[in-house]
Structure 1
Amino acid sequence: MLRPIRTIATAAAALLLATACNSASTSGEPSGKDSAAVRGVTPDSIKVGGIVSMTTASGYSKKDTDLGARARYERANAEGGVNGRKIEYLGAEDDGQDPARNLAAARKLVQQEKVFAVSPMSSVTFSGADFLEKQQVPTFGWGTVPQFCGPKYIYGFGGCMVPMPGGTITQSWPEGLAHVLGGAKGKSVAVLANDNDAGTFAIRTYKQGFAAAGFRVSYAKAAVPATSLPSDWSAYTKEILRSNGGKAPDAVVSVMQTPYNIGLFTAVKRAGFKGVITDPTDYDPGLLAKDATKQALDGVHVLLSFEPFESSSAAMRQFKDDIRKAAGKDVPLNMHMMTGYMSADFFLAIAEKAGKDLTVESFQKAAAGFSDTGTMVGDRSLPKGQKEAFGCGALVQLKNGAYQVSSPFKCYEPVPFG
C-alpha cells in the first residue's frame, strides 16, 4: 500500500481530488510492447507537460522554470531525441500557487493532453501529487515539498529535500553556513518560515539539520502568514533578535520566498542586525534591477542545490548556451531556469536508459537502478533520491551588486531525520 501523501489542499481541492480519483481512467497505461497503447508515446514522440507557479498572490513567479525545461528539451531534440523519439513539450500550466489549480492542471495534462510525464512541476503546493501517483505519471521537479519523498512515480531532481521520519536530511545549508562563519561551534541560528504545511516541514527539517551541524537553534517558527505579506515585521524581528539569550543570533535563516525575504531582511537590518543572513531563494540577477530590492538582499548568502552560475564547468557552459538558444537572446540567469532544466534533464536521462520500448513499466524499471555522476546537482541515484537528497550544495553571497561564491559547491553526508 502506498504511503499517503500529505497535501495542503483546501476543501475545494480535496473535493476535486476525490472526483478525479473516482473518474480517471487508466486505460491509457501500457499494454505489452505496443507503444501505441502507451499514454503520450508514439513511434516518433513523447508528450510531456509541466506545472509551474507562474503567477502568485505575492507577485513571486517561477515562470522561468518553463524556459529552463524548454531549453533542455530543445537540445535533446536537436541531438536526435530520446531513442529516436522527439520530445513534444506542451509547456507549463500555471497553477497560481493554488491547490485547486495545481490539481486541475494535473488532471488536464493527464486526462485531456494525455502526457507521458509531467516535468517540471514547480510549486509549493502539490495537491495534484496523489492523482499523478495513482495515474502512474512520472513527475519531476524540485523536491522541496514532502510529496517528492516516498511515492514511486515522483522524483526530485536533487532528491528528496524534506524527508519523512526515518529518512535523512541534507546538510549542504548548515555545513555551508558553518564554512561562512568559520565553524558552527558556539554559533546560533534563528529560522523563520511561512505558516503553512511547507513551512512547518521546513522548520522541522532545518531545526534538526542545523543542530546536527553543531549550531544552537535559538529560534525556529513557521509563523509568517502565507497568504499575505506582513506590513509590519516588528513582531518577528523582536523575537528573533532577542532569541539568543536576550541578544541577536549569529545568523538569521529564512525559508521563505523573495517578497517575504525583502520585508524580513530590511526589518532586521534596520533593527541593527550585523550577523549573517541566508535564504534558499534569492539567486536571481533580475532582482538587482530595483535599488530597494538590491539593498534589502545585499550581503545575503543564498543556498543553491546546484552548481553556481559562476562555475566554469563544461556542464554550466552547456546550460548557458541552451538557455540562450531557447530564449533567442542573452537573458539574466536565475534558479528557476535551473529547476526546469534539471527536472527535464533527469527525466531525459531515465527515459534514455529505458530504451526504445518506452512504457511506464520500462521507465520505472530504468529508474529503479539509475545512477550517474558529475551533474550540476552532484551524483544522482535512485531509489535513494526518493528517500533523501543527493546532498550537494553551495552558498553564494550578493555583494556590491553581484553574486560571489561564499561556500563552494560540495556534497555532504546526510544526517538521520526523526
Structure 2
Amino acid sequence: MRAPRLVAVLAATAALSAGLAACSDSGDDTTAQPPVVAADDVKTGPPSGWSDGGFTPDPASLRCGQTAADPTRGITDTEITIGGLAYLTSPNGSSMAGVELGAKARFDRANDEGGVNGRKINYIGTLDDGNDPARNGSQAKVLVEQKKVFAAVPLLTSSSNYLDTFCADTVPFFGWGTNPGYCGTTIGFGITGCQVPSDKVGAVSTTYGLMIQAMFGGDAKGKTTALVGVDNDSARTGTHELARQISAVGIDVVYEENPIPVSGLTDTTAVVNAIMTSNKGAPPDVVLYIADFNSVVKLTGAMTAAGFQGKHLNPVGYDPRLAASSFQGLQQSYTIVQWQPGVDTSVPAVKQLADDLAKYTPEASLSLTTMSGYWAADMFITAATKAGPDLTVDSLLKLLNSGTYTNYVEGALPETRFPVNHVIGAPCASIVQLNGNKYDITSDLACGTLVKK
C-alpha cells in the first residue's frame, strides 16, 4: 500500500538538511568529543523540572533584544492579529501542511472561551513560503508591513530569512524550533526550544542517548549506534549534534556519515554495506536515519533485506495515517517524538487537543506538524494571557525572557524555559514503535539533562 505523503520532519530532517548552515561556524572543531557522563548517572525523569546542568547562556549574546518601535502593532482593545509562516508546499512535494490547522483549532477554542483577556484572536492564516528562501523573506515582510501582525504563530520553515524582518521590527514568533532563527535570539520561542544549536553552545543535550537507552529497557551498556544523514554541510552539522547527544551517555557511535543525496537516495548498496560492517566488521545495534521520509523507508527496507537484526530509529515515522494503512515500510521501526504522541488520549491535554481538532478542523490528522501548530498556538495563548490586559510586544517579551517563565503542558509538552532554550533544546522526547495498525509507546514523554561542557 502506498504511504500517504508525510510531512512531518524534526530538526534532524528539514532543519538539519536545509537550515543548519546558518548555525554552524566553519571555525568550529566538529571533531571535538562531547563531555561523557556515566550512563548510570543519567536517567530519564519527568517532563518538567529537568536539569540544565548548571548551564546558563549569556543574555547579552542573544540577538534582537531591542524594544519594539511599535509595541502595540496588531493589537486593539478587542483583538490581537496573528499570522503564521510555513512551507505548506515545496518543489519536492514535502511540506509542513497541517501546522496551520493545528494552530487554527487552538485559536478557535480560545476565542470561544472569550479570547485572551477579552481580546479575540484574529488569526489571518499561515502564509506559504513554498520552501523558497527568497519567498520566506518576502512573506515575512507581508506579515509585518501589510498584515501588521502582533506575533507570527505558527512558524515552521526550513529557511530563516524571515529573521531580518522579524528582528528589525521585534516580532515574536512561536513554533517548532527546527530552523536557525530560533537559536540565539530573544524573539523566537520553540515549543521544545532551539533544535539546531551551535557547536559553540556550552552544553550538550542527552535526549537521543536517553531515548536509545529506553529502546533497550533503560540499559544500553555496550550498545552501538550508526547515524546516516543527508549529504550537505548543514546536515552534517546536525548529524554530528545528534552523535554528541548519543555519545554523551556513553553509547558508542560507530558510523556517522552523510551519504544520502539531497535529491534522495536511489542505490542503497554502498550505504547498507558500510553500515552492516561499521561495528568492527559487524552491524551496529541501532541505526538512526536522519533523512527525508522516502529515503528513510528505502534504507530501512534495504537494511532489513540485508539481514539487519537491530533496531531502526528515525524522526519522521509517526503519523496516524501510517498506522491506519498498516504501512509496511516502517513496521517495527521506532520514531522519536518531542512531545507525548497523539495516540495517547489518556493524557487530558492530548485528549483536549484531539477534541479541538475534531471540533474546529476535522480535516486535520494527529500528525506531528498538526500537533506542532497546536502547541505553538497554545504556547502563545498561555504567555499572552499571563502578560495581562495591558499586553504589548515589549511586555510579552519581558515576561517570556524574565528567566523565571516556563511553558509546560502537563504530560503532553515538555517544559521549556528561556533564555536557556533560546540556544539549546529541552532534553526531552518520547518513543513510539509502529506495530501493525497501531503505534505502541515505548517511552512516554520524559526528559534527561543538559551536560555542561
TM range (shorter): 0.7 to 0.9
Report the counterpart of residue 35 of structure 1 in structure 2.
none
The 5 A counterparts of 1:232-271 are 232-271=267-306
Q: Contact 1:46–1:87 (CA<8 Å) still a contact in 2?
A: yes
- Of residues 412, 419, 431, the one that matches 1:395 is 431
- Of residues 247, 253, 270, the one that matches 1:211 is 247
Q: 1:104 to 1:195 in 2, by over 3 A?
A: farther
- Of residues 305, 328, 348, the one that matches 2:338 is 305
Q: 1:139 to 1:223 in 2, by over 3 A?
A: farther
Letter in 2 for 1:7: A
Letter in 2 for 1:149: C
The 5 A counterparts of 1:45-56 are 45-56=79-90
* Alpha-carbon distance in 2 for matches of 1:109, 1:374: 28
Q: Contact 1:377–1:392 (CA<8 Å) still a contact in 2?
A: no
Letter in 2 for 1:283: Y
Q: Contact 1:189–1:219 (CA<8 Å) still a contact in 2?
A: yes
* Alpha-carbon distance in 2 for matches of 1:254, 1:406: 18
The 5 A counterparts of 1:153-232 are 153-164=187-198, 165-182=200-217, 183-196=219-232, 198-226=234-262, 228-232=263-267
1:178 Cα deviation from its structure 2 partner: 1.0
Report the counterpart of residue 421 of structure 2 in structure 1.
385
Q: 1:334 to 1:110 in 2, by over 3 A?
A: same
* Alpha-carbon distance in 2 for matches of 1:222, 1:40: 44
1:396 counterpart SS class: strand
* Alpha-carbon distance in 2 for matches of 1:398, 1:284: 10
C-alpha distance after superposition, 1:115-140 (max 9, x if no partner)? 11111111222222233222211011
Q: Contact 2:325–2:437 (CA<8 Å) still a contact in 1?
A: no
1:70 Cα deviation from its structure 2 partner: 0.6
Report the counterpart of residue 22 of structure 2 in structure 1.
7
The 5 A counterparts of 1:53-202 are 53-164=87-198, 165-182=200-217, 183-196=219-232, 198-202=234-238
2:391 counterpart SS class: coil
* Alpha-carbon distance in 2 for matches of 1:279, 1:181: 16
Q: 1:406 to 1:98 in 2, by over 3 A?
A: same
* Alpha-carbon distance in 2 for matches of 1:372, 1:153: 15
1:49 counterpart SS class: strand
Report the counterpart of residue 340 of structure 1 in structure 2.
373
C-alpha distance after superposition, 1:137-183 (max 9, x if no partner)? 10111112332121011111111222222243332322111121242
Q: 1:195 to 1:43 in 2, by over 3 A?
A: farther
* Alpha-carbon distance in 2 for matches of 1:198, 1:81: 41
1:390 Cα deviation from its structure 2 partner: 2.3
**TM-score, normalising length: structure 1:** 0.86
Structure with the larger helix share: 1
1:235 Cα deviation from its structure 2 partner: 2.4
* Alpha-carbon distance in 2 for matches of 1:63, 1:148: 20
Task: Name stretches of at least 5 consecutive residues in structure 2 with no aligned partner.
Answer: 1-19, 24-65
Q: Contact 1:95–1:101 (CA<8 Å) still a contact in 2?
A: yes
Q: Contact 2:194–2:421 (CA<8 Å) still a contact in 1?
A: yes
Q: Contact 1:219–1:240 (CA<8 Å) still a contact in 2?
A: yes
* Alpha-carbon distance in 1 for matches of 2:153, 2:232: 25
C-alpha RMSD of matched pairs (Å)? 2.2
C-alpha distance after superposition, 1:242-281 (max 9, x if no partner)? 2111221111101223122112212212222111011112
C-alpha distance after superposition, 1:189-234 (max 9, x if no partner)? 11122234542232121111111121111111233222x1222122
C-alpha distance after superposition, 1:83-136 (max 9, x if no partner)? 111111111112222212222221221122111111111122222223322221
Letter in 1 for 2:286: A
Report the counterpart of residue 359 of structure 2 in structure 1.
325
Q: 1:264 to 1:57 in 2, by over 3 A?
A: farther
Report the counterpart of residue 69 of structure 2 in structure 1.
29
* Alpha-carbon distance in 1 for matches of 2:156, 2:189: 12
Report the counterpart of residue 285 of structure 1 in structure 2.
320
Q: Contact 1:52–1:122 (CA<8 Å) still a contact in 2?
A: yes
Report the counterpart of residue 396 of structure 2 in structure 1.
363
Q: Contact 1:77–1:87 (CA<8 Å) still a contact in 2?
A: yes
**TM-score, normalising length: structure 2:** 0.80
Report the counterpart of residue 12 of structure 1 in structure 2.
none
Q: What is the identity percentage for the equivalent residue pairs of Structure 1 and Structure 2?
A: 34
1:6 Cα deviation from its structure 2 partner: 5.7
* Alpha-carbon distance in 2 for matches of 1:261, 1:282: 9
Q: Contact 1:184–1:213 (CA<8 Å) still a contact in 2?
A: no
Q: 1:113 to 1:372 in 2, by over 3 A?
A: closer
1:388 counterpart SS class: coil
* Alpha-carbon distance in 2 for matches of 1:87, 1:362: 18
